[in-house]
Structure 1
Amino acid sequence: MLMPKKTKYRKMFKGRIKGKAQKGNTVVYGDFGLVSEDKAKITSRQIEAARIAINRYLKRGGDVVIRIFPHKPITKRPAEVRMGKGKGPLEGYVAPIKEGTVLYEIGGVDEALAREAFRRAAHKLPVRCKVIAKAASEEVK
């Protein structure tokens, strides 16, 4: 699972995900990118499941780059515990995603192969996604 090596604080406030992505919204490393169309918190397990789906379909053919990282700690209280007594223990890490964020990139494969790999990966993620090409992402700027 992806998680930070070290954090300054063990627990963090929830916060809100507002607006569209200003950074990380263009394809940089590959030829095609999987872009989020919603706001969400994607867990490290979901990121890993989508990565495995992409790699299995490509049969290690292309270069896959993960553009998101789960750095935000999420806590959870046990079931049927009374109110109070502080914040719960650490459950895992999530990556807060704004709409327009490039989640994954693929390089070195043709478009049909990349689209199908991204379609399979999108089923593992809690957001609606679309596929963009490198030239299309440069026009958005």
Structure 2
Amino acid sequence: MLLQPKKFKFKKLQKGRFKKKEFAVTSLKFGRFGIKSLEYGYITAAQLESTRIAINRIIKRSGKIWLRIFPNKPITKKPAEVRMGKGKGSVDHWVSSIGAGRIVFEISGIKPTLARSALLYACSKLPIKTCLIGF
């Protein structure tokens, strides 16, 4: 099941602007090791889910995983070959808008070598540049 909000005040949002840098979630809080973003961008709910599954596959559910972001921004899309006008398209997928320096995942309860291999594999699933922290 992909992540998406249960309730939402407005079904469709305007695009908005990216935060270039994060100031709130920039250090580890729950886990011992983590993935930190080095640039800003969108991460979709499907990418977050595949990253979480990749980490679980390597650590074999022995540790604990924290997902520090949530996809709460709807992205709309009109169908192919539709004429201009007639309003905004329907919601296609959900994304999380993150800035540089934001913690994306945290894990704890496993050995550092296993955590490093799991997080390196997980970084390959994300569309932005990331680094490992806590080692």
Letter in 2 for 1:2: L
- 1:11 counterpart = 2:29: no
Aligned residue for 1:106?
107
As a proportion of its length, which structure holds more helix?
1
C-alpha displacement of 1:119: 0.9
Aligned residue for 1:73?
74
Percent identity over the alignment is: 47
Gaps of 5+ in 2: none
Letter in 2 for 1:43: T
C-alpha displacement of 1:103: 0.3
Aligned residue for 1:120?
121
The 2-side partners of 1:125 and 1:132 are apart by 16
Gaps of 5+ in 1: 137-141
Secondary structure at the aligned position of 1:12 is classed as coil
Aligned residue for 2:132?
131
The 1-side partners of 2:29 and 2:37 are apart by 16
- 1:49 counterpart = 2:50: yes
Q: Which consecutive aligned stretches of 4+ in structure 1 deviate over 4 angstroms post-superposition?
A: none
The two structures, once aligned, show a CA RMSD in angstroms of 1.0
Aligned residue for 1:33?
34
TM-score of the two chains, using structure 1 as the length reference: 0.92
Once the two structures are superposed, what CA deviation does each residue of 1:46-78 show, in whole Å capped at 9, x if it has no partner?
Answer: 000000000010001111110000000110011
The 1-side partners of 2:11 and 2:73 are apart by 10
